[in-house]
Structure 1
Amino acid sequence: MRAISQLADNEPFPPTGEALDYPNGLLAVGGDLSPRRLLEAYRHGIFPWYEEPQPVLWWTPDPRSVLLPGQLHISRSLRKTLRRNRFRLSVDLHFESVMRHCAQLRGDGLGTWIGDNMLAAYCDLHHIGHAHSVEVYNPAGELVGGLYGIAIGRAYFGESMFSLEADASKVALVGLVNILTRGGFELIDCQVESEHLNSLGAFNMPRLDFEQRLRDTIDVAHDPEIWRLPATCGELL
């Protein structure tokens, strides 16, 4: 079995081709969650996923689940939800709250991969303009859905989403795709395949192809003014 690299704080990542086949994509252990480290990781298609207080685990699975903004599948029922104009939207107003809701999703007593260190690290990325959230509110003004992720160049790396009411997270995704399409983004990294993401248009891409897509998009700047949405979801259609 191939040995896993143990990272010191300032040590670079090993080549992604050294990632394990099982567990799929495990590349390295250790290091920190500084903005420099995280941005370096995402630029190479690497992301952290672990449970605190264990050491940080870094992953680059093969294949990679991706969604191209122009290929988002909006079902008839979701279109009906959007037309009803029930939900209100915002961008980057409640980033930390979105992360905290995502952290509460498991509810099985087994903990969550979004611990205090992850929360602080991604809030730091949010403050420097790389991490973004989309928020969804019901008619009572309650935050009932949302998502967050990292934007570098014209690639968006989705991290997590939550939904407390039917279709709320899907509405957040439609809002995100609206933003990314206006910004000329070419892909959304969904990390690992799931039936839910596949139903929305995601598909698997070999890691080498995914990394080539990143090289083609990661240094192409996007307009920071794109991070806004209409007030209500009906305007997304």
Structure 2
Amino acid sequence: MPIALITGASAGLGAEFARQLAHRGADLVLVARSAGALDALADELRAQHGVAVEVLAADLLDEGDLDRVVSRIGDEAQPIDLLIDNAGFGLPLHFADNDIDDEVRHLRLHVEVPMRLMHAALAVMRGRGGRIINVASVAGFISRSTYSACKSWLIGFSRWANAEYARDGVTVTALCPGFTHTTFHERMGLPQGEEGIPPIMWLDAADVVREGLHDAARGRAVSIPSWRYKAIVALTKVLPASLTSRAARRGRV
């Protein structure tokens, strides 16, 4: 069976990726800081789908833990077929008021960590084939503090890597959802429904993951779930940056 490694797998989109892939028969390597949540999810997936689930509790901002995950990805005896870079967190949009050490950790987790994991995955996937899904955001298409900048980097790098390594049988897809019903906002102290975002703009995690997996299977470099956000991204190409920046000050994506 194919093996998928998912970071940030204990909740939100990561857990939804795990459930959908297990339903399809994939074996899993689940990575997150919370060993208890990972163990509970692993037990659920083994019982429901009969797949093999490996739990790798790791803080990706800890050098030793990151090295363990890189080593698992590079294990040629049990090669990873699908890497899903999903781990992340958000910060308030007011960069000048944020703690700079928090901003550096934010940058590392959203840029350095997926870069290192992709580098390890490509080393074992090239020539054999494989897929990489980088969970980005529609925020990457607009000017929106450091979160937007990090996701923009991830989108741009995924586009390049998808074209560059297609000849080696590897696809790289940046999945760019908008506001999605997960625990992401609660962890920032921003309960869903309190950000002034209309209900129509909220996406369901299952739909986001389903469309992301579909687009990755088709070899698309960028996946934008839902017609609503496809239209918004199209508008960002023609509207002034000053206008989109003002609009982007509401909520978190």
Same fold, TM-score > 0.5, yes or no = no
TM-score, normalised via structure 2 length:
0.28
Structure with the largest fraction of strand: 1
Structure with the largest fraction of helix: 2
TM-score, normalised via structure 1 length:
0.29
